[in-house]
Amino acid sequence: MRKDKAMNTEQFITMLDAKGITLSPQQVQQYETYYSTLVEWNEKMNLTAITEKPEVYLKHFYDSITAAFYYDFNQPLHLCDVGAGAGFPSLPIKIAFPELHITIVDSLNKRIGFLEHLSKQLGLKNVRFIHDRAETFGQNKEHRETYDVVTARAVARLSVLSELCLPLAKVGGTFIAMKGAGAKEELGAGNKAVSILGGKLDQTFSFTLPEEESERNILIIKKEKATPKKYPRKPGTPNKTPIE
């Protein structure tokens, strides 16, 4: 394992290229702008504890894009990212796959302000940022069961996360949960919730993040049937009393 446990820009470009994701000079520049904007705003508000450039490229940009190694984003899908914080995983994926339509829902208005500014700096199209709790958002008829893909990265354990995400995926759509170590245990505890909410685990992919060698798991969950109307429950309830 390398001492720096991180990734420079050249390695980032090369490793994505090896996975069939070739970045144009414009896309490379967008990641550079993303990084500089993230660091600049992070001085004013808490967006990330990771600020060193090689670490941001590895643990935020590359880590976010790993979902695209196992799912085809190269099409004009409508994707909703729940609790994206500083835009992960959806905005690094959006830069690599510009045809995507991205909706980010986040409960902190300050973060929405950052994302709106970032989006302008990056020149992104077909992106929208909504200030709301995921529980309320999932009951909104305009958004409920309308998305092809719903993503979440390290937001909550699977039994909770399923209740926040599956109501937003349309029947026939996909929920992609990006997890670190311990995903198998989460799956064991969260399987009932996934099933009740209309989902079924399709595939699990496990790998180690390069350089750093930490475990990553990507759970691909198919939405097979409509989510019962009572889900998601009121804000805070899924976390306090998860479906188990």
The pLDDT assigned to 213 comes to 84
* Within a domain: 64: yes
Q: Which domain holds residue 169?
A: 9-240
Confidence of residue 5 (pLDDT cuts 50, 70, 90): low
Q: Give the whole-number percent of the chain exceeding pLDDT 70.
A: 98
Angle between helices 183-196 and 158-165 (to 10 degrees): 40
CATH code of the domain covering residue 212 = 3.40.50.150
Strand partners, 101: 78
Residue 7's closest CA among 209, 181, 151? Answer: 209
Cβ pair 164, 134 in contact under 8 A:
yes
Over the Cα atoms of the chain, what is R_g? 17
**Residue 217 tokens, joined:** 């798991």
Q: Is 175 annotated as a binding residue?
A: no
* Within a domain: 2: no
Domain count, the chain: 1
In sequence order, the 6+-apart residues with CB closer than 8 A to the CB of 229 are none
- Which of residues 83 and 26 earns the better pLDDT score? 26
Cβ pair 98, 84 in contact under 8 A:
no
- Which of residues 155 and 233 earns the better pLDDT score? 233
* Within a domain: 182: yes
**Residue 227 tokens, joined:** 């989510």
What would the mean pLDDT of 150-172 be, rounded to a whole number? 94
Q: Is 244 annotated as a binding residue?
A: no
Give the tens place of pLDDT for each residue, 165-206.
Answer: 999 999 999 999 999 998 988 899 999 999 999 999 999 999
* Within a domain: 4: no
Q: Is 134 annotated as a binding residue?
A: yes
Chain-centroid distance, C-alpha 49: 18
The pLDDT assigned to 155 comes to 73
DSSP string, the chain: --SS----HHHHHHHHHHTT-PPPHHHHHHHHHHHHHHHHHHTTS---S--SHHHHIIIIIIHHHGGGGTS---S--EEEEET-TTTTTHHHHHHHSTT-EEEEEES-HHHHHHHHHHHHHHT--SEEEEES-HHHHTT-TTTTT-EEEEEEESSS-HHHHHHHHGGGEEEEEEEEEEE-TTHHHHHHHHHHHHHHTTEEEEEEEEEE-TTT--EEEEEEEEE-SPPPTT-S-STTHHHHS---
The pLDDT assigned to 3 comes to 42
* Within a domain: 1: no
Give the tens place of pLDDT for each residue, 39-83.
Answer: 999 999 999 999 999 999 999 999 999 999 999 999 999 999 998
Q: Is 153 annotated as a binding residue?
A: yes
Burial label for 23, CB within 10 Å (0-12, 13-18, 19+), is middle
Chain-centroid distance, C-alpha 212: 20
Cβ pair 1, 213 in contact under 8 A:
yes
* Within a domain: 65: yes
- Rounded Cα distance between 202 and 215, Å, is 20
pTM of the shown model:
0.95
* Within a domain: 134: yes
The pLDDT assigned to 56 comes to 96
Q: Which amino acid is at 207?
A: F
* Within a domain: 3: no
